[in-house]
Structure 1
Amino acid sequence: MNRVLIKNAKIVNEGQIFEGDVLIENDIIVEIADSISAKSADCKIIDAEGNYLIPGMIDDQVHFREPGLTHKGDIASESRAAVAGGITSFIEQPNTVPNAVTQELLEQKYQIAAEKSYANYSFMMGATNDNLEEVLKTDPKNVAGIKIFLGSSTGNMLVDNEKVLETIFSGTKMLIAVHCEDEATIQANLEHYKAEFGEDIPMKYHPLIRSEEACYISSSKAVELAKKTGARLHVFHVSTAKETNLFTNKIPLENKQITAEVCIHHLWFTDADYEKKGSLIKWNPAVKTAEDKKALWEALLDDRIDVVATDHAPHTLEEKKNVYTKAPSGGPLVQHALVAMFEAHHQGKISVEKIVEKTAHNPAKIFKIEKRGFIKVGYYADLAIVNTGLPWNVKKENILYKCGWSPFEGFNFKSRITHTFVNGQLVYQNFKVKEIQAGKRLSFDR
């Protein structure tokens, strides 16, 4: 039996911080108390030394690039980076190669993860204009949800047929997650700037090409359709102030039919950073203005926005060095997401309790993930210890992404993830990932 006793922790759970111990047997939390003594000689004791013990982050949107794009990243490499960042579960998106748009292709990804993943995993089923039959076969018990790109993506994944959209929205009880950018608006903006600059458009125009208008047209349409059909809608990576007004904080999360996510990069960077960072912060949707960033923080804190995620999407530096029209959008974030949120805590922007709510509790509630996202007896022991007084510098030698770079390179974080547990296994400790692929397939209470 695997027995682990975590002592002297500041336990963060459901809006409270209390000092105590946590006992794990095999993969489950079996006791939480002020003080617990080791029940047997084979019990491994870990002294948290007064640091925070939090539920591991559940990242509801990542692109781990396997199959088909494994020169950028793969499930093993990126899940290793994730556990180093205190992320214990991830939900991966369908725009791999081939796209996960049939039940067979979707299941192949689960089989890869079962062999390789250091963190718990689920994969979204991808929708296209012509795979409705496959989409409706998706099992709500063991698949996180349906993903729809309402802006261009890899392969055939742009869904722009209104009839198909309405059929999906009205035909499934599963959570539907959407990428919202209006393709016609983007293409018109792109042609305007290409006429002026050719292919080498200065990066600062990215948020004007993939504009506030492009985001709002698409997200407002998705929200309207969800209201019309009663669909369970989750809007990924909200990036503008205008969009935050589409969401409500007037009802409890459990009663919301429409929820929203914000990503680390939209909470951290602004359009002023393009001059220094260039394509390294080229994401879709684009990083926008300081006013947008401020509004996103306000919406996160007042609960119009429910979840913080990464949209982790690595590319090689060689790919990123291309001219604007050829440089791909996306960047690696899983290793640095939680410490970035704790940096915001140091700046007085957010409490530790709220960080845990937005990164662990709420993703578990929104996706109805079974027995994860909380520090509770009977729940899986997916945990991270965070030392808020142990600074470290992000540099090439400690970056674990396969692509080998980070938009945070050179930054000094004040907090460090010292330990990560996945299903009760200590998989990461002080900059070292242990070779334990402890990840399990997520299941859902639906």
Structure 2
Amino acid sequence: MNRIVIDNGTLVNEGRRFNGYIVIEGDRIARIGAGRYPGAQAEIGAGTEVGTAARAEAGTAAGIPTRVIDASGKLVLPGVIDDQVHFREPGMTYKADIRSESAAAVCGGVTSYMEMPNTNPPAVTLERLEEKFARAAEVSPANYSFYLGATNDNIGVIRRLAPRRVCGVKVFMGSSTGNLLVDKDAALAALFAESPVLIATHCEDEGTIRANIQRFREEYGDRATAALHPSIRSAEACYRSSAKAVELADRYGADLHILHLSTAHELSLFDDRPLAEKKITNEVCVHHLWFTDADYAAKGNLIKWNPAVKSAADRAALRAGILSGKVDVVATDHAPHTLEEKLQPYWSAPSGGPLVQHSLIAMLEMSREGTFPVEKVVEKMCHAPAIRFAVHRRGFLREGYFADIVIVDPDKPWTVSRDNVRSKCGWSPFEGTEFSHSVTHTIVNGGVAYENGELSGTLHGRALEFER
């Protein structure tokens, strides 16, 4: 059994921060304490200088080999749980794959992910879903689960989903990458009435978008640029579809999670009750918290997402929602495309981009700027996904929980460049951005998956379990 001590770090967990240590035994957190770990000095040898290299040496405790990681001056956080990623496998592995993107995830402090069904072929049957689980078991250094995709005619498959194994069912109420639009009222009614698992929705009103596309194609033709994207995939389109999803959930008592809110108006559909009391919740993505429509001039299609990045006022409302409790979860919608695809003219360029490597540090950067405290970052990226999806013993620093832990140096600046992007697509919308924080260690199920710029090569990821 492995034994790791994380000593003298600033633990951030459940609304508080304190100087302390964590003892990991096997795959679990065995002990959490305040102050310095009592045995750390002896375990690295009497008289040895207590430095980063020295504390990484192995010692022994009660006959168990012990490694001590010096976390002095660093933040120690629960591993991030990302409830929305697109890893493109099967069928689009020239863009990304489960191996490459889960590796990028652990480099960024993401220890668990929930992956979307709009692959090729799409995961709309139990057999295709199991193929994804099997592939992740072979190659993923992070923990994983997968959504089944809803269609207009697969309610029979949805009824058979295992609530303890499958994170949810994804329904596209507006078309996006993958052509999984569910647009029949009867199919939506059956889904909301009968799904045994959480329903996660992509909400953009299809009729509104199609009308906007026709209008702007006629007006701009080939002169169209990404600056038009928030007018085409408009705030009205988002609100109409989100309101419809909320109405369906209210009518049928469904467990609804609306993904990637992008507008102030949509927030009016939600309240600030404690998350555990809600059946209708939302997620906001890092790019909608970071960028605004003013960034299209410089970034162009690199920040073309569905839903679109919108106004500074919308961004301000979403940021305020994190503080007020109206925003429930923060995630990425990590969705890589090749740079060649993204550099096509606006009408041809696909929506989406890589984010999973930079989500935590981007949120910590916003925290440093005073947007919200570090405790809120941990709440929305670690605790809240665990609560909302009823993830078994993850998302918190608690004794007896799985040891999914991230160590972050808050004073180790670096600049994003194509040389240090881990995603297979090889580019990032954050290129040129200097971040003040660096992830130094990512621990998954008690094993060090990433350390100081290097992946361990050992696969520690497991299928997530849900307490349903």
> Structure 2-normalised TM-score?
0.94
- Does the 8 Å CA contact 2:3/2:64 hold for their aligned counterparts? no
In the other structure, the counterpart of 2:286 is 264
In the other structure, the counterpart of 1:183 is 206
In the other structure, the counterpart of 1:390 is 412
- Does the 8 Å CA contact 2:124/2:151 hold for their aligned counterparts? yes
In the other structure, the counterpart of 1:9 is 9
For 1:22, give the aligned amino acid.
Answer: I
In the other structure, the counterpart of 1:198 is 221
Paired residue for 1:346, among 352, 355, 368?
368
Q: CA deviation at 1:93?
A: 0.4
Once the two structures are superposed, residues 95-118 of structure 1 have per-residue CA deviations (whole angstroms, 9 ceiling, x without a partner) of 011000000001100000000101
In the other structure, the counterpart of 2:381 is 359
- Does the 8 Å CA contact 1:200/1:325 hold for their aligned counterparts? no
Quick check: 1:219 aligned with 2:242?
yes
For 1:88, give the aligned amino acid.
Answer: T
**Partner of 1:42: helix, strand, or coil?**
strand
Once the two structures are superposed, residues 56-90 of structure 1 have per-residue CA deviations (whole angstroms, 9 ceiling, x without a partner) of 10000000111111000001100111000000000
- Does the 8 Å CA contact 2:29/2:400 hold for their aligned counterparts? yes
In the other structure, the counterpart of 2:155 is 132
Higher mean alpha-carbon deviation, 58-67 vs 154-163, is at 154-163
- Does the 8 Å CA contact 1:14/1:353 hold for their aligned counterparts? yes
Paired residue for 2:302, among 280, 291, 295?
280
Quick check: 1:412 aligned with 2:434?
yes
Cα distance in 2 for residues equivalent to 1:154 and 1:130: 19
Q: CA deviation at 1:264?
A: 0.4
Paired residue for 2:88, among 58, 65, 88?
65
**Partner of 2:124: helix, strand, or coil?**
coil
- Does the 8 Å CA contact 1:23/1:36 hold for their aligned counterparts? no
Higher mean alpha-carbon deviation, 171-180 vs 358-367, is at 171-180
Quick check: 1:242 aligned with 2:270?
no
In the other structure, the counterpart of 2:137 is 114
**Partner of 1:380: helix, strand, or coil?**
coil
Q: CA deviation at 1:50?
A: 2.9
- Does the 8 Å CA contact 1:22/1:29 hold for their aligned counterparts? yes
In the other structure, the counterpart of 1:401 is 423
- Does the 8 Å CA contact 1:83/1:427 hold for their aligned counterparts? yes
- Does the 8 Å CA contact 1:80/1:119 hold for their aligned counterparts? yes
Cα distance in 1 for residues equivalent to 2:75 and 2:262: 30
Quick check: 1:104 aligned with 2:104?
no
For 2:329, give the aligned amino acid.
Answer: V
For 2:451, give the aligned amino acid.
Answer: Q
For 1:116, give the aligned amino acid.
Answer: V
- Does the 8 Å CA contact 1:95/1:153 hold for their aligned counterparts? no
- Does the 8 Å CA contact 1:88/1:382 hold for their aligned counterparts? yes
Quick check: 1:207 aligned with 2:230?
yes
Paired residue for 1:302, among 324, 345, 359?
324
Q: CA deviation at 1:196?
A: 1.5
Once the two structures are superposed, residues 377-421 of structure 1 have per-residue CA deviations (whole angstroms, 9 ceiling, x without a partner) of 110000001111111111111111100000011111011111100
> Structure 1-normalised TM-score?
0.98
Q: CA deviation at 1:365?
A: 0.2
For 2:4, give the aligned amino acid.
Answer: V
Cα distance in 1 for residues equivalent to 2:160 and 2:127: 11
Paired residue for 1:169, among 189, 192, 201?
192
Once the two structures are superposed, residues 290-349 of structure 1 have per-residue CA deviations (whole angstroms, 9 ceiling, x without a partner) of 000001111121011111000000000110111111100000001100000010111011
For 1:227, give the aligned amino acid.
Answer: D
Cα distance in 1 for residues equivalent to 2:452 and 2:86: 25
Paired residue for 2:390, among 342, 345, 368?
368
Paired residue for 1:123, among 131, 142, 146?
146
Q: CA deviation at 1:41?
A: 5.8
Unaligned runs of 5+ in 1: none
Cα distance in 2 for residues equivalent to 1:401 and 1:178: 25
For 1:177, give the aligned amino acid.
Answer: A
For the pair shown, which has the larger CA radius of gyration, 1 or 2? Answer: 2
Unaligned runs of 5+ in 2: 44-60
In the other structure, the counterpart of 1:32 is 32
**Partner of 1:30: helix, strand, or coil?**
strand
Q: Using a 3 Å threshold, how does the CA distance of structure 1 residues 112 and 235 change in structure 2: closer, same or farther?
A: same
- Does the 8 Å CA contact 1:21/1:36 hold for their aligned counterparts? no
Q: CA deviation at 1:262?
A: 0.3
Q: CA deviation at 1:173?
A: 3.5
In the other structure, the counterpart of 2:452 is 430
Paired residue for 2:67, among 24, 38, 44?
44
- Does the 8 Å CA contact 2:177/2:351 hold for their aligned counterparts? no
Q: Using a 3 Å threshold, how does the CA distance of structure 1 residues 418 and 388 change in structure 2: closer, same or farther?
A: same
Task: Number of aligned residue pairs: give it.
Answer: 445
Cα distance in 2 for residues equivalent to 1:328 and 1:36: 54
For 2:328, give the aligned amino acid.
Answer: D
**Partner of 1:148: helix, strand, or coil?**
strand
In the other structure, the counterpart of 2:464 is 442
Once the two structures are superposed, residues 136-187 of structure 1 have per-residue CA deviations (whole angstroms, 9 ceiling, x without a partner) of 1110010001110001134451001111101110112411000000111001
For 2:341, give the aligned amino acid.
Answer: E
Cα distance in 2 for residues equivalent to 1:178 and 1:5: 41
**Partner of 2:318: helix, strand, or coil?**
helix
Among the aligned pairs, what percent are the same residue? 54
In the other structure, the counterpart of 2:354 is 332
Paired residue for 2:315, among 267, 286, 293?
293
- Does the 8 Å CA contact 1:60/1:90 hold for their aligned counterparts? yes
Quick check: 1:320 aligned with 2:342?
yes
Q: CA deviation at 1:204?
A: 0.5
- Does the 8 Å CA contact 2:114/2:145 hold for their aligned counterparts? yes
Cα distance in 2 for residues equivalent to 1:426 and 1:155: 35
Higher mean alpha-carbon deviation, 1-10 vs 366-375, is at 1-10
For 2:399, give the aligned amino acid.
Answer: V
Cα distance in 2 for residues equivalent to 1:137 and 1:256: 25
Paired residue for 1:157, among 168, 180, 203?
180
Once the two structures are superposed, residues 32-58 of structure 1 have per-residue CA deviations (whole angstroms, 9 ceiling, x without a partner) of 113342524610110111311000100
Cα distance in 1 for residues equivalent to 2:267 and 2:322: 9
Cα distance in 2 for residues equivalent to 1:367 and 1:140: 10
Cα distance in 2 for residues equivalent to 1:86 and 1:237: 20
